[in-house]
Every structure is written in C-alpha cells, then in structure tokens.
Amino acid sequence: MKHLDEFNDPELARRLLDEIARVSTRPAVLMEVCGGQTHSIIRHGIDQLLPPGLELLHGPGCPVCVTPLETIDRALAIAALTDVMFCSFGDMLRVPGSTHDLLTVKSRGGDVRVVYSPLDAVRLAERHPERQVVFFAVGFETTAPANALAVEQARRLGLDNFSLLVSHVLVPPALEAILQAPTCRVQGFLAAGHVCAVMGVDQYRAVCDRNRVPIVITGFEPLDLLDGIRRAVVQLETGRAQVENAYTRVVRDEGNPVARALLARVFEVCDRTWRGIGLIPDSGWRLRPDFRAFDAEARFDVGRIHAVESPLCHSGEVLQGLIAPTGCPAFGRECTPRTPLGATMVSDEGTCAAYFTHRRVAVGGD
C-alpha cells in the first residue's frame, strides 16, 4: 500500500496544482483518453481543482462502451444458440443490446459464463468437446495479447470447438478521428499508460507530429494525472507539441516486444465501427487468415443483424467529449446503472457511470 499511497499524497497534489495554476496563462482543453483515467479524475475531483479556463474532456477510452451495438446483438444471438457456451468478462454481461443483454440470455437458459481470462475459455473447450465455446474478445491493445495467446493455444491443442468474437479497437486512429472532427476543441491528450506499456509510443508520435498536439502518457493515480496535466499545459504554453512519457515506471518507448510480436502473428489491422462515433479506418484488429477458423463471426450464421440504438441515449456525444453525461436528458432518469440505456452507464470505465456514482453535476463540455 505504501507504493500506492505515494501517488495519492495530498501535499504533493497541492504542489502540482499550484504549479499548474502558475504556468497556465490562457484557456486550454485537454482530453484524457482512458476510462480508468476518467474515473480517477471524477472520483478525486481533479477537474474541479484546476484553474479557470483549463478544461478536461472525457474521451472514448472505454472499450466496452465503444463496442458496436451490432456486435453486442451478434454476441446475444450466438450466446442464445443451444450448442454454445458463451464466455465473457463480467463487464460485458449488462451492456445493453438493441433489446436485452447477456444476463437476459442467461436467464432464458443460455449457457453464458463469466471467466477471468480467455485461457479459462480454452480450458472449458478442452473439457467440453461436445460444446462450442466462444470468448467475447473486447478491448483496446491492452487486452489483445491474452486473446491472441488463447487462439495460439487453441490451435496448438487442436481444438475445433473454440472461437473468438473479436471487437478489438486501437487508440491512435481514434485520436486522429477526434482531431479531424469539425467540432473538435481538444488541444492535447493524456494517453493511457497501460496501452503504451504494450504498444510503445511510436504511433502516438505520428499523431502528435501530424496534428501538432501535445500527448502525455500517464498512469491512473491522482499524482500521475496531475503531472500529466502539468506537462501538457507547459507544452501548450511554450508552443511545443511532443509525446512525453510521464509513466516511465511502467512504459518503455518500445512497449512490450514479445506481446507486439504475438499480436502481429495473430491479428491484422482492419476498419472498425465505434459505438456512438461511427466507422474509423484502420482502427481495429481482426484475426489473420491463418486463424480465421477461430473467428466466431464466420463460424456462426445468426443472420443479418439490424441494431437499433435507444433514441433517448446520447452516449455517442459523451464518448466524443461533446457533452458531459449530465447534458443527456435521460441521465439519472430513464438511464441509471440499474436501467442503463447505453454502455457508458453500465461499464466500470464508462463516463456516465463515473458521474452517477460520484453524484457529479454538470461541468465544462456540457
């Protein structure tokens, strides 16, 4: 606990806040990329402690939240098949599809199971050769290596009853899409340290150079975030636009070479639709042709999926940083964690869930 306490020290936090106030001379808009960062910012009230004119927007940094509604509906259709054992992390079970969620499928007799690793699903496929075992592979670059490892393990074991329903998304193309939007106000990013721990920083340098915006890689504790904000403000005040690694205790420039090699063997880049945002070119991964036998979308014919979003839900605008959750008329009324209209209210990393949990009122960006 001592190590974590060091990154929550109130005296050091006050010094960083004083330094941010000292160097800030003009309005600035920063966006944190990851939902874990968002929850830390809201829980500790970091955005409310910043000097006037310095605004934090919340980005689309929750992979559960940006999983396309069509993919959720496809997962529900596959999970309802009689010969399927559908495995997922727990955070996907209550994410609403067009009409219901995975918990509803389970209540109706579907074999839906929570696992703690995709390798757990591989072991289930070994023990139940009479069943088709599907793992819902959702996430950013952080969770992808474990899913790639599961596919390689399944092929090594000769399992023909294991597959992945893949919905992996990549962060740098999303930053490009945000910056190219005509409504964009973002002048700098706080990038997610766990993603960079896997992939390194080169792709962020390309985004930074093309768009001339500071990108600071941070952790998730209060002092990590305050230091990242300070560094981004200093860059804006001095007219610089660079990638800074403020999370050196975890992130190396090259990332994790072993994980990156594994990802390159199993996945290839593809276009991907992000829920609430739309199609972003080259922003996802799919299984390479050598591994297509493990692609659940190709293995199971569940017909044409026609997904319909709730007309009351404004989560797409929340994901793009255009409004705060309290700017959605359904927030806290029709939409609560018990009755979520969108994934941003039910996911552990969702911005709407953070605002609801911490009783947050409207802030900048609303």
Those residues of the chain that have pLDDT short of 50 are 1, 362-366
| Whether 78 and 22 share a structural domain | yes
163 in helix, strand or coil? strand
DSSP 278-325: EEEEEEEEEE-GGGGGGBHHHH-----------TT--HHHHHTTSS-G
Q: How many domains does the chain have?
A: 2
| CA distances from residue 1 to 8, 14, 56, 194, 220 in whole angstroms, order as listed | 11, 21, 29, 20, 15
Query: What's the CATH code of the domain at 121?
Result: 3.40.50.11740
Same structural domain, 37 and 104: yes
Regarding whether 194 and 327 lie in a shared domain, the answer is no
pLDDT in tens, 165-211: 999 999 999 999 999 989 899 999 999 999 999 999 998 999 999 99
Which amino acid is present at 19? E
Q: Which two tokens stand for residue 279?
A: 């199609």
How confident is the model at residue 5, as a pLDDT? 63
C-alpha closest to that of 192 among 144, 264, 147, 245: 245
**Same domain as 303, residue 320:** no
- Cβ–Cβ < 8 Å for 190, 31: yes
| Residue 59 burial (10 A CB sphere; 0-12, 13-18, 19+) | buried
Q: Are residues 78 and 58 in the same domain?
A: yes
For residue 5, the one-letter residue type is: D
pLDDT in tens, 338-352: 888 888 998 878 899
Q: What is the residue range of 205's domain?
A: 1-313
Predicted confidence at residue 4, as pLDDT, reads 60
Q: Is residue 364 part of a domain?
A: no
- Predicted pLDDT at 239: 96
